[in-house]
Amino acid sequence: MNSPPSAKTEQWAGTAIVQAVLNEALDDRESRVRLAAVEGARETKPAGAAPKLRGMFRSETDLGLKRSILAALGALEDKASVELLAAVFGSAKSDPALLPEAIVAAGQIGTPDTRALLVRFLNSQPAEKVILLQTIAALGKFKADQAVAAIAPFSRNVDSEVRQAALAALTGIGGDPAAAVVLPLLNDPSAAVRRGAVTVVGELQARSAFPLLLKLYRDGETKWEAIAALARMPDAQALDAYLDGLGGKNPTLRAACRKAIGTIRDKALPAIELKLNGLVPETVAELQKIYADNPEARKSRLFETTARKLEPADYLDFALEHDGDAVRGRTIFSDLSGVACIKCHRVTGEGGDVGPDLTMAGTQFGRTELAESILYPSKAIREGYQRVEVETRNEETFEGLVKAESNDWLTLRDANGRDRRISKADVKERRNSQVSPMPEGWEAGMTQQDFAALVAYLVSLKGRP
Q: Is the pLDDT of residue 105 over 80?
A: yes
Domain end, chosen from 303, 338, 354, is at 303
- Other Cβ atoms less than 10 A from the Cβ of 302: the count is 21
Q: Do 209 and 258 have their domain in common?
A: no
Residue ending a domain, among 139, 170, 189, is: 139
Q: Are residues 281 and 223 part of one domain?
A: no
335 in the same domain as 444: yes
Picking from 215, 233, 251, the residue at the C-terminal end of a domain is 233
Report if residue 147 sits inside a domain: no
β-pair type (419-423, 427-432): unpaired
**Residues 97 and 219 occupy one common structural domain:** no
Residue 320 lies in a domain: yes
Same domain for 206 and 128: no
> What confidence tens digit (pLDDT) does each residue in 110-129 have?
899 999 999 999 999 898 99
Cβ atoms of residues 231 and 259 within 8 Å: yes
Question: Do 72 and 160 belong to one domain?
Answer: no
Q: For the segment 310-332, what is each residue's pLDDT rounded down to a tens digit? A: 889 999 999 999 999 999 999 99
Q: C-alpha distances in angstroms, 21 versus 40, 67, 407? A: 10, 21, 24
Give the separation between CA 445 and CA 270, rounded to whole angstroms.
26
pLDDT at 6 over 70: no
The pLDDT confidence band at residue 451, using thresholds 50, 70 and 90, is: very high
Q: Are residues 183 and 266 in the same domain?
A: no
Same domain, 15 and 117: yes
Any alpha helices (H) in 277-403, and if so which ranges?
A: 281-290, 295-298, 312-321, 326-334, 361-364, 367-375
Strand partners, 429: 391
Q: What is the largest CA-CA distance in the chain?
A: 83
pLDDT category of residue 424 using cuts at 50, 70 and 90: confident
pLDDT value at 8 more than 90: no
- In a domain? residue 203: yes
| DSSP track, 43-86 | HH--TTHHHHHHHHHHH---HHHHHHHHHHHHHTT-GGGHHHHH
pLDDT at 165 over 60: yes
Task: Using a cut of 0.75, tell me whether the model's pTM lies above it.
Answer: no
390, 399 in Cβ contact below 8 A?
A: yes
Tell whether 66 and 85 lie within a shared domain: yes
Please give the tally of structural domains in the chain: 5
CATH code, domain with 207: 1.25.10.10
Residue 161's domain spans which residues? 153-233
